Amino acid sequence: MKRLIFLLAASTALAGAGTLFIGSYPATILVFDEAQGRIVDRIPLTTGTPMGLRVSHDLKKIYITTIDHNGLEVIDTASRKVVNHFILNAGNKQYRFRNGAADPQGKLYYTVIKEIDRLPSHYEVSKAKYGVIDLEQGKIIKLVDIPPEEETNPALLGMVLPGSMSDANVFEVSPDGKYLYRYSDQDIAVLQTSDFKMVDRIDLANPKLPGIEHVEFGWFGADLHVTSQPGEHITSFFWEDSIVHKKVFGIGRLDLNTRKMSFTPIGSAPAGMYGLQVTPDKKFAYAAVESGERGNQHCEFWAFDLTNQKIASKAEFQCPTHQNFSMSTDGKKFYINTKFEIEVYDAATLKHETTWDLRVDSVGAIGAEFVAIP
């Protein structure tokens, strides 16, 4: 399943009045009005094709990494203008990075970087390192070796491999800016932002919660920003109960201040599920469920009653080749993106309503995730 370059953000507090900021090929961010169902603006990028998109916690800025020259651009969501841009490549040296996280002040950007030196007869590629980029100076100000035991971590490797299936939001900075949370399907590491030293680690195989073991992140689902609170990380989780080892899925919350985790079970985990979305009132959740091999797939929408913790309804839909699943900012619609189009469904009936034709490639060669923000 190929992930898409999407970011969903609201421009006003009115229901259904959100704005879609869509990364498109070759070097543009489309501004799509959710209420009108059409593109209302285009934001040109100076540094190349968008590779990863990350919104700030206050929803005022979007940080975009680009692939052509390994650049980074910052968009102001109110003015819809690029307010900062720069490239890291210089001379015979290139720096490969895919995504990362900015500090709460928007001054520093934390990521994983590979240095590539072009020599007369060959290229030399260094090992991946933790990196800090000064957004005002537009340059790398710190590189720190990744410990040997972390070098093969799939989440960190995915940050320097364009188009990888690793979750784009591997890093998150604590509200006080002192700690960096590194997420993977193995554990959650808490690093000091000053030197990247690990100060805590949450083992997902044994999360120290009663009746829960073998926890996994929902890698193919977007973070559930519609339910997020300041200082809280929310996403879909999968785990086994410790008695009969039945696979369960639901919503997991991590408090970035106290490092405490909590889980809300929803039901038995299907073979494949992605894009778990929760309505703003937190009463219902929706997901796209997939079973079977490519060419013989079966796809369904599942609606969940979170109050009674049960499946409320199901509906079959045609499995697209390229797809991503997300919800409108008011929680009344959800979307399936199929590269050049967005299929719109009614959340109450699970029925198809209309198709928004983008008339442009919103995937290109690179993929990132589709995130819903109120």
pLDDT in tens, 24-72: 888 998 888 888 888 999 999 999 988 888 888 888 899 999 988 899 9
What mean pLDDT is predicted for residues 316-329?
76
**CA 235 to CA 211: how far, in whole Å?**
20
% of the chain beyond a pLDDT of 70: 80
Max avg pLDDT among 5-14, 104-113, 161-170: 104-113
Q: Poorest-confidence range of 23-32, 85-94, 195-204, 220-229?
A: 220-229
Q: Higher confidence at residue 362 or residue 29?
A: 29
Domain assignment of residue 372, yes or no = no
Query: What is the count of structural domains for the chain?
Result: 1
366 domain residue, yes or no: no
Least confident of 64-78, 140-154, 172-186, 333-347: 333-347
Q: Is 371 a domain residue? A: no
367 assigned to some structural domain? no
Q: How confident is the model at residue 206 (pLDDT cuts 50, 70, 90)?
A: low
- Residue 218's pLDDT band (boundaries 50, 70, 90)? low
**Which residues are bridge partners to 296 per DSSP?**
none
Higher pLDDT, 272 or 143: 143
User: Distance between CA atoms of 85 and 65, rounded to whole angstroms?
Assistant: 10
Could you tell me if residue 1 is inside a domain? Answer: no
The answer to whether residue 369 sits within a structural domain is no
Is residue 368 assigned to a domain?
A: no
Q: What would the mean pLDDT of 124-148 be, rounded to a whole number? A: 95
Which among 127-136, 212-221, 322-331 has the top mean pLDDT? 127-136
Of the chain, the end-to-end C-alpha distance in Å amounts to 26
Whether residue 8 is predicted with pLDDT greater than 60 in this model: the reply is no
Residue 83 near residue 75, CB atoms below 8 Å:
yes
Mean pLDDT across the chain, nearest whole number? Answer: 80
Q: What is the CA 342 to chain-centroid distance, rounded?
A: 18
Using a 10 angstrom Cβ sphere, with 0-12 exposed, 13-18 middle and 19 or more buried, the burial of residue 10 is: buried
Residue 261's CATH number: 2.130.10.10
Poorest-pLDDT segment among 126-135, 205-214, 231-240, 281-290? 205-214
Beta pairing partners, 317: 299
Label residue 224 by pLDDT band (50, 70, 90).
Answer: low
Chain centroid to CA 248 = 22
**Least confident stretch, 33-42, 119-128, 197-206:** 197-206
Q: Which domain holds residue 38?
A: 6-357
Model pTM? 0.84
Residue 370 lies in a domain: no
Contact 184, 153 (CB under 8 A): yes
